[in-house]
Amino acid sequence: MSKSHTQRQKVYRERKKAEGGSQLLEKESKRTKKYYTNVSKLSKREAAKRREKLRVKQEVYRASKKFDYANEIIRNTNIGNVLSEEPRPSTSGNDIQMAEVTSSDSTLVVKMTFQRKQKSTSEKKKKQKIDYFARVIKNLRRKNQSLRQAVSRMKQITKGKGPKTPTTPRSTAEKEMKEAGLESNQHETIRKKLVFGHCITNEMKQRIASGNRKGGEIIKRIIAGSILRKYRLTQNAARLVGVRVRSKQYINHSSTTQKSHKKIYTAVRELLEIEDNSRQLPGKADSIKNEKKERVQKFVLNDYLRNIFIKFKAEFPNQKISFATFCRARPKHVTLVNFAARVTCLCTKHQNFALRLNCLKRHGVSTNTSPDNFSKQQL
């Protein structure tokens, strides 16, 4: 049976070793050094593989030395002759078992154990964590370098391209007029209007950027005005200034119903503040804050609110309003008082009549304290 290439090479090396082992080893060493790469130039994975390979070789070498040393001890102590030369231990074995040694009378078995020092579990976990984070850092650095290179390439591509954007209202206006193809005699007609428009736009941008809340609210209300909405320029103006006008609070949707309600409320207030229907209290303490947080003097009605409502219907016959709405339209500073506590032009007898009705109500005889209503019931 023919030999393989590996077997032929093995026979060739053994023959060369027998002829001149030192020369062959020196030649092999030179050949290996020629193609040898320093571990510092290898990648982390390749360096780890090489170190693992060297570690295994060292273990095999130490195990063979221990095996030879044990055989030497057995020979020197004349325990016996080794019956059979056992093969050298494998690369994964740390325990060396001696062959059975016999004398003429008995059989001796020698077992020598060389335990490998076990690494601590915590140290192994720490090493694993260090390796993991080192890989993460390496990947992040590689990505960072890739992004830097991409940014550098984009800067080189876009360098010197694109028109220069004008920075002043006048230069912007000149650029727009040139792009429109206007003649020189037409420039003077529209230059000031364009410059004025760009100045207003820049002023609004600066006011928005300054963080002035009140000024920003005013600008937003101007952009959401009726004229810009009429010509559909709200979104265009908001984009030029750099704001968002999408909220309903900046758009004045004044419907017909709201306008009519406001008109009715104003008419009711004016009617209640007339001297025929109320009188103003003169005292300094007789003041109150209205809905607009303004301090105004109190007004006291001279008559019942129902009678004033009848008077309102007579003066404004075209206004459709209920008594409940009329009561809600009464301002906060126009107050109501009981009949007995009012300061009116009634005579003393009428005042006494009201006091007596109050007394009757306290004793449970009557339930009405108004002289007018009591008179109507009796009739």
**Segment 333-363, tens digit of pLDDT:** 888 866 445 544 445 455 677 778 888 888 8
Q: 346 and 329, same structural domain?
A: no
* The domain boundary residue, chosen from 228, 250, 272: 250
The amino acid at residue 52 is E
Give dist(CA 65, CA 71) in Å, integer.
Answer: 10
* 292 is a domain residue: yes
* The pairing of beta strand 299-301 with beta strand 334-335: parallel
Say if 128 falls within a structural domain.
no
Is residue 144's pLDDT more than 90? yes
Buried b (16+ CB within 10 A) or exposed e, 97-118: ebeebeeeeeeeeeeeeeeeee
Does a structural domain hold residue 322?
A: yes
Q: Are residues 223 and 204 in the same domain?
A: yes
Can you give the pTM of this predicted structure? 0.30
Show the beta-strand stretches assigned E in 198-332. 278-280, 287-289, 295-297, 299-301
Does 321 share its domain with 378?
A: no
Flag whether 27 is in a domain.
no
Using a pLDDT cut of 70, give the percent of the chain over it: 79
Residue 192 pLDDT exceeds 60: yes
pLDDT for position 340:
42
More confident residue, 342 or 187: 187
The encoded tokens of residue 108 equal 């001796």
Query: Which of 215, 250, 285 marks a domain boundary?
Result: 250
| Within a domain: 100 | no
Quick check: is 82 in a domain? no
Q: Which of 250, 278, 294 is the last residue of a domain?
A: 250
| 346 or 4, greater pLDDT | 4
Condensed to tens digits (0 to 9), the pLDDT of residues 198-233 reads 888 888 888 888 877 888 888 888 888 888 888 888
E strands within the chain?
Answer: 81-82, 95-102, 107-113, 278-280, 287-289, 295-297, 299-301, 334-335
- Residue 313 counted as domain residue: yes
pLDDT of residue 100: 44
Residue 53 lies in a domain: no
> How many folded domains does the chain comprise?
3
Query: Do 182 and 215 belong to one domain?
Result: yes
Q: pLDDT at position 205, please?
A: 85
In terms of residue numbers, what domain contains 378?
Answer: 338-379
Q: 279 and 244, same structural domain?
A: no
Q: What is the DSSP letter of 40?
A: G
